């Protein structure tokens, strides 16, 4: 009886995988992306050049480098930012979380906003 219990317990222990939840699926993010559009409840001058903002994802180091060559700051401050997350979510040290989706040469980052505030939705569209 003890042997059967031990066998069942061993099988259950081996069947439990602590990594059942997938790690962040960020392989498609690798490389440089250029901001093409910001969609939000905010206004921009018609001649706003979003392409002056670039991000480079280093998925081996879980690092995104942001550069702004213009006067506006979009997405994050210039510099290196480490990220974590799970599945299709990117989380940063300031507790901001973005959902990401890569379709071909288009990257969509959507800020996961507070449900109590109706006007803080923002989506960043990047192209390779």
CATH 2.40.128.20 fits 24-127, yes or no: yes
- The per-residue pLDDT for range 3-59, each reduced to its tens digit, is 554 444 444 444 444 444 447 888 999 999 999 999 887 778 888 899 999 999 999
What is the pTM for the complete model shown? 0.77
Dihedral of CA 63/64/67/68: which sign?
negative
Coil vs helix vs strand at 104: coil
- The per-residue pLDDT for range 80-126, each reduced to its tens digit, is 999 999 999 999 999 999 999 999 999 999 998 766 665 567 999 99
Residue with tokens 């990117």: 90
**Residues 6+ away with beta carbon under 8 Å from 82:** 61, 62, 63, 92, 93
């Amino acid at each position: 009886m003890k042997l059967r219990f031990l066998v069942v317990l061993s099988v259950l222990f081996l069947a439990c995988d602590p990594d059942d939840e997938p790690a962040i699926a960020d392989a498609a993010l690798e490389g440089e992306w250029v901001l093409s559009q910001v969609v939000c409840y905010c206004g921009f001058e018609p001649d706003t050049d979003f392409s002056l903002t670039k991000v480079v994802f280093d998925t081996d180091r879980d690092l995104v480098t942001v550069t702004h060559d213009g006067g506006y700051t979009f997405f994050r401050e210039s510099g290196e930012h480490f990220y974590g997350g799970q599945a299709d979510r990117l989380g940063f040290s300031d507790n901001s979380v973005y959902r990401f989706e890569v379709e071909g040469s288009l990257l969509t980052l959507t800020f996961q906003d507070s449900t109590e505030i109706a006007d803080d939705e923002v989506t960043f569209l990047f192209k390779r």
